[in-house]
Amino acid sequence: MALEKYRAKRKFNITPEPKGVVKKRSLSRFVVQKHRASHLHYDFRLEAEGVLKSWAVPKGAPEQAGVKRLAIAVEDHPVEYINFSGQISEGEYGAGTVEIYDKGKWQALEGNLKKGSMKFSLAGKKLKGEYILVRLKDKKNWLIYKK
């Protein structure tokens, strides 16, 4: 099931995060969340296949062309997470503050995530234009860069 890993890491009677369900249709949205956890990073999420496909991006998604950033694949999140911001309690998985940095729509242009390389466009308030996600050999690590 698409959200098993996500649910296994959380105690929903303690965390304010949504338990969520897999959605049947996609609205092609994206969100970038600034996550002040044990280390500050950004969570980049694309709505696809009924969930939010998710990557932790230590330095944030690039806003300028040619800048390549590491994006580490993490568990899929429920679509409801697209609006999540708040405090995850100390001692819980991902403890810290989550705030929405940017959100908007995305559109696939070439390739796909399953094949490990996808060119897509973002239309957010901060992130705009064409981007590429490329999976590296170890399958967990990706590069994201703006075209």
One digit per residue, the tens of pLDDT, for the chain of length 147 reads 589 999 899 989 898 999 988 888 889 999 999 999 999 999 999 999 999 999 999 999 999 999 999 999 999 999 999 999 999 999 999 999 999 999 999 999 999 999 999 999 999 999 999 999 999 999 899 999 999
The tally of domains found in the chain comes to: 1
Q: What are phi and psi of 6, to 5 degrees?
A: -60, -50
What pLDDT does residue 58 have?
97
Instruction: For tokens 């950033």, name the residue.
Output: 69
- Tokens standing for residue 26: 């996609």
Q: Give the E-state strand segments of the chain in sequence order.
A: 29-36, 40-48, 51-57, 68-77, 86-88, 96-112, 117-124, 128-135, 141-146
Element (H, E) at 8: helix 4-8
Pairwise CA distance, residues 99 & 76, whole Å: 18
52 is in which domain, residue-wise?
Answer: 4-146
| DSSP-derived secondary structure letter, 74 | E
What pLDDT does residue 61 have?
95
What pLDDT does residue 24 have?
83
What pLDDT does residue 1 have?
56
> Would you say 5 and 75 are in contact if contact means Cβ atoms under 8 Å apart?
yes
SS3 22: coil
